[in-house]
Amino acid sequence: MGNSESLIQLTINGFSSENEIRWIKMSDINIQGCLGCEHCTHNGEQCIQKDDMTILYDEFVWCDALIIATPVYSRNVCSHIMALMDRHYAVKTSRPLEGKLGAAIAVGRGAGQAIAISSIYNWYLSCGTLCVPGELNGITAFGYNKGEVLENELYVSQAKKLAENTEKYLEMMRTKK
């Protein structure tokens, strides 16, 4: 299990059993990048590409909160997350993530984690998603060897805090409905 995967698993483990959690590992599904063809604009938010993005469109509607974890290879989100963010464009009118919660985790071997977190939170804001902080923003971590982040007490406490804040904000949202 990679470091970003380890931190999201730790974060998920911090949620109470009252929450239904669905974990989609982006490397296990096939999502192509956006073609910029505007087919979705002219054909009722239907992307011309028929791939696993339809799974995520359904999850956008279903979820109350979304936590994105990304490895950082080239000083930003990985290509799977970039494809997700770009392909969300097809549902820009219905805005399925509007008013929902979003949190972020970025783990790299060098620099770029802060850029990746900023990219994810900027995307959340453009979707109308409410950004959940950890101790400060999301989790930015350094890890070279698999599982290394779990040996760092700061990253472990940040994952627990991100889960705590997400659950707290979910409860606040649910009581206001």
- The bridge status of strand 130-131 relative to strand 101-108 is parallel
- Residue 53: which of 89, 21, 20 has the closest Cα? 89
pLDDT digits (tens, 9 = 90+) for 56-106: 999 999 999 999 999 999 999 999 999 999 999 999 999 999 999 999 999
47-70 tens-digit pLDDT: 999 999 999 999 999 999 999 999
At the topology level, CATH places domain 3-176 in Rossmann fold (3.40.50)
Instruction: Tell me the whole-structure pTM to 2 decimals.
Output: 0.94
Q: E strands, the chain, where?
A: 65-72, 101-108, 130-131, 139-142
Domain boundaries, the chain: 3-176
b or e along 51-87 (b: 16 or more beta carbons within 10 Å of the residue's beta carbon)?
Answer: eebeebbeebeebebbbbbbbbeeebbbebbbbbbbb
